[in-house]
């Protein structure tokens, strides 16, 4: 799982001349920002030309889709540079300080070995594509863009080596470990490879290393070409629906880094401060809203935790309960449109994105309401409510009117049928940019925007790297008919759909606790969708159940991701944060059961609006 305590909470673009490589870092960040900007502007230009001149940009969709590949590899390289690739919570944090250099060197060497093999496989893939001679647009060969994969993996491997130790001796040990692993045994040799991958988990290797290592081992064991893994990565990134993920994430980053949190807090406080529990309501709604756009609950904890804790303390909310409310509220955004996990599940399960987004509305409302009620109940009963001030409420609404209109932009685009989900995401990102940079001027165009866009690209790159490796693993399972075998076994062992759903919830809770949500969607969805269909569970309803359980996984001790972010943000031990979220975990578990056994929560709204 991610380890925020090992890295800074906010990414700073290299604005100062620090270190010999600062110019290279500046170029990387600039390229990342420019690609993201092109991904926003191309769909918007396409809309404008289509609606006015009935023409379009040649191959605009393909250009945007290949922009995802560029952002993914550039962002992953930047994440490796900053030491912020998503990692599994290994044993390193509990080792004595004097032994941690060995842990870092071993983990770095293992990660280098896997990434080096991926770079070689990606080179083989690009060589084949070069022979094909396919063109992307305007005479540009596709392989020119695809070449970013072997270059990106090689750069990531180099940076994993650089970060494997502070001393030259540490890095030499890491290099020796990598060389030894590559020369020790063929990938198809089961016992050493399985042992090494288990060691990678214990050492806290990046998630993509573990998934990529498993995929390499499986493909090599069946004498399949390793170039199929970068091929799967490429096919995922150019999926027509995937650009919505970085674009919605960019919109969320503009909002979170601008003045939107403070203005929205003012609005909700003015409207609901007169009610007991108003502070809890504000906390839950805001944390859920921002997570739905950024796609990262940890980012929301880091960005909003410092603003919301004083609000809760102002009404004498218990400190531990406040930490629990903020930490658990950030997980709710997974089910609130346009949450990125909803889009990704729709892509993998091959369901319409609009249907998936609508299906999550009522379940998200159920889960949010239950957490709000818990927050209200835990607020001191003798808290003096804030008198309603109509003038202040109007002033707050006026000040935040542009941000309050963002859902209209997003859902208006999706509901209109005139623009695609990718174009809707581009419009949302452009609107958020205009609001925060040009209207409110909370973000400087030259100083802040490149930093925010680089941060967005860093997060997206880390996620897409995981998704690509997970897809290689998943495709192997499908080709080997593992999903069919699991489905047959489950149907032979379980007769009742009710029992199946209960067992599914238990399994998904474990998955959510030990896997990051994006790789879980890629790996688990193809396995459970056929089983759900066999028991009469619609894939859309199954997706809502899946993601609701992932919300619980964010909070499940001892490795729930939000626990680590909250521990870092509030300076509290993991154990104290875990105790703080237990009441919310229990309440949300009840919500998951309601969503599971009442399919109408998921299926009613799509049935009404999409008939």
Per-residue confidence band for 37, with pLDDT thresholds at 50, 70 and 90: very high
Pairing of strands 140-141, 135-137: antiparallel
| Closest to 253 in 3D by CA, of 455, 482, 542 | 455
Q: Are 484 and 175 in contact (CB under 8 A)?
A: no
pLDDT at 345 over 80: yes
Kindly state whether residues 262 and 202 are assigned to the same domain: no
> Domain check: are 301 and 180 in the same one?
no
Q: Which of 211, 237, 263 is the last residue of a domain?
A: 237
Percentage of the chain lying above the pLDDT 70 cut: 87
Q: What gap in Å lies between CA 162 and CA 82, rounded to an integer?
A: 11
112 and 182 fall within a common domain: yes
pLDDT at 343 over 60: yes
Residues 6+ apart with CB under 8 A from 495: none
Q: Which helix (DSSP H) or strand (DSSP E) does residue 76 occupy?
A: helix 60-81
Number of DSSP helices (H) and strands (E) in the chain, helices first: 29, 2
Q: Predicted confidence band at 476 (pLDDT cuts at 50, 70, 90)?
A: confident
Residue 193 pLDDT grade (very low, low, confident, very high; cuts 50, 70, 90): low
Domain for residue 485, yes or no?
Answer: yes
Ranked by mean pLDDT, the top range of 12-26, 187-201, 237-251 is 237-251
- C-alpha of 155 from chain center: 23
pTM for the whole structure: 0.82
User: Are 210 and 298 in the same domain?
Assistant: no
DSSP string, 340-408: HHHHHHHHHHT--HHHHHHHTHHHHHHHHHHHHHHHHHHS-TTPPPPPP-HHHHHHHHHHTHHHHTHHH
Boundaries of domain holding 141: 4-237
* Same domain as 228, residue 310: no
Residues 114 and 249 in one domain: no
- Counting residues of the chain whose pLDDT is more than 90, the rounded percentage is 27
pLDDT of residue 152 exceeding 90, the answer is yes
Q: Which of 6-20, 178-192, 333-347 has the lowest mean pLDDT?
A: 6-20
pLDDT of residue 3: 36
Q: Is the pLDDT of residue 528 over 80?
A: yes
The answer to whether position 410 is within a domain reads yes
Which of 237, 252, 281 is the last residue before a domain boundary?
237
- 201 and 344, same domain (yes or no): no
Q: At 218, is the secondary structure helix, strand, or coil?
A: helix
Mean pLDDT of 81-89: 77
- Considering the domain architecture, whether residues 43 and 161 belong to the same structural domain is answered as yes
Task: Identify whether residues 232 and 273 lie together within a single domain.
Answer: no
Q: Is residue 380 part of a domain?
A: yes
Say if residue 316 is in the same domain as residue 233.
no
- Domain annotation covers residue 453: no
> CA geometry: angle at 277 spanning 590 and 284, to 5°?
55
How far apart, in Å, are the Cα atoms of 170 and each of 49, 103, 162, 459?
56, 10, 10, 28
Domain end position, chosen among 178, 203, 237: 237
- Assigned token pair, 10: 């906010």
Residue 449 falls within a domain, yes or no? Answer: no
In a domain, 69, yes or no: yes
Residue 595 clears pLDDT 90, i.e. is over it = yes
pLDDT of res. 12? 44
Question: Residue 265 above 90 pLDDT?
Answer: no
Distance CA 29, CA 475 (A): 33
Q: Which of 192-201, 566-575, 582-591 has the highest mean pLDDT?
A: 582-591
In a domain? residue 452: no
Residue 10's pLDDT band (cuts 50, 70, 90): very low
Token duo for residue 19: 């270190």
Q: Tell me whether residue 455 is in a domain.
A: no
Cross-strand partners of 140 = 137
* Segments in 515-599 forming alpha helices (H): 517-534, 539-555, 561-570, 574-597
> What count of other Cβ atoms lies within 10 Å of the Cβ of residue 534?
14
* Structural domain total, the chain: 2
Pair (143, 99) in one structural domain: yes
> Is 222 found in the same domain as 358?
no
């Amino acid at each position: 799982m991610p380890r925020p305590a090992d890295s800074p909470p906010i990414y700073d673009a290299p604005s100062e001349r620090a270190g010999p490589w600062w110019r290279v870092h500046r170029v990387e960040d600039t390229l990342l920002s420019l690609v993201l900007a092109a991904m926003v502007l191309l769909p918007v230009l396409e809309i404008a030309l289509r609606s006015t001149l009935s023409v379009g940009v040649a191959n605009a969709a393909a250009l945007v889709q290949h922009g995802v590949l560029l952002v993914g590899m550039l962002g992953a390289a930047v994440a490796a540079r900053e030491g912020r690739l998503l990692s599994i919570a290994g044993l390193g944090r509990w080792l004595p300080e004097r032994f941690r250099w060995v842990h870092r060197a071993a983990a770095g060497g293992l990660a280098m070995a896997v990434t080096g093999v991926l770079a070689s496989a990606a080179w083989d893939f690009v060589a084949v594509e070069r022979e094909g001679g396919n063109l992307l647009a305007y005479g540009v060969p596709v392989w020119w863009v695809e070449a970013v994969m072997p270059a990106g993996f090689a750069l990531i491997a180099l940076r994993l080596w650089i970060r494997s130790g502070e001393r030259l001796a540490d890095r030499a040990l890491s290099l020796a470990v990598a060389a030894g692993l590559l020369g020790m045994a063929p990938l198809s040799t089961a016992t050493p490879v399985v042992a090494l991958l288990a060691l990678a988990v214990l050492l806290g290797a990046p998630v993509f290393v573990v998934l990529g290592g498993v995929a390499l081992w499986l493909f090599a064991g069946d004498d399949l070409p390793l170039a199929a893994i970068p091929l799967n990565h490429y096919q995922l990134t150019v999926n027509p629906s995937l650009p919505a993920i970085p674009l919605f994430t960019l919109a969320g980053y503009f909002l979170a880094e601008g003045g939107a949190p403070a203005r929205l807090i003012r609005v909700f406080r003015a409207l609901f401060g007169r009610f007991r529990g108003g502070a809890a309501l504000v906390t839950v709604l805001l944390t859920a809203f921002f997570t739905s756009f950024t796609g990262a609950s940890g980012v929301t904890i880091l960005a909003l935790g410092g603003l919301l804790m004083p609000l809760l303390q102002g009404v004498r909310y218990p400190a531990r309960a406040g930490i629990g409310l903020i930490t658990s509220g950030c997980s709710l955004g997974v089910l609130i449109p346009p949450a990125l996990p909803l889009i990704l599940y729709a892509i993998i399960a091959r369901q319409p994105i609009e249907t998936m987004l609508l299906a999550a509305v009522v379940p998200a409302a159920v889960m949010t309401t239950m957490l709000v009620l818990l927050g209200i109940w835990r607020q001191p009963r003798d808290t003096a409510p804030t008198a309603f001030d109509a003038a202040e409420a109007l002033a707050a609404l006026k000040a935040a009117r542009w941000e309050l209109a963002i859902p209209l932009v997003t859902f208006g685009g999706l509901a209109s049928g005139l623009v695609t989900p990718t174009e809707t995401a581009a419009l949302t990102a452009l609107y958020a940019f205009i609001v925060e940079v040009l209207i409110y001027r909370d973000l400087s165009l030259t100083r802040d925007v490149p930093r925010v866009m680089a941060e967005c690209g860093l997060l997206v790159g880390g996620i897409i790297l995981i998704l690509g490796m997970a897809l290689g693993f998943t495709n192997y399972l499908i080709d080997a008919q593992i999903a069919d075998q699991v489905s047959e076994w489950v149907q032979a062992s379980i007769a009742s759909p009710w029992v199946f759903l209960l067992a599914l919830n238990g399994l998904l809770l474990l998955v959510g606790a030990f896997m990051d949500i994006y790789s879980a969607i890629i790996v688990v969805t193809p396995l459970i969708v056929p089983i759900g269909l066999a028991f009469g569970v619609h894939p859309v309803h199954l997706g809502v159940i899946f993601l609701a359980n992932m919300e619980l996984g964010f909070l499940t001790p001892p490795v729930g991701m939000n626990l680590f972010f909250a521990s870092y943000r509030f300076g509290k031990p993991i154990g104290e944060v875990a105790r703080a979220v237990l009441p919310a975990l229990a309440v949300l578990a009840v919500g998951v059961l309601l969503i599971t056994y009442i399919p109408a929560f998921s299926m009613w709204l799509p049935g009404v609006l999409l008939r």
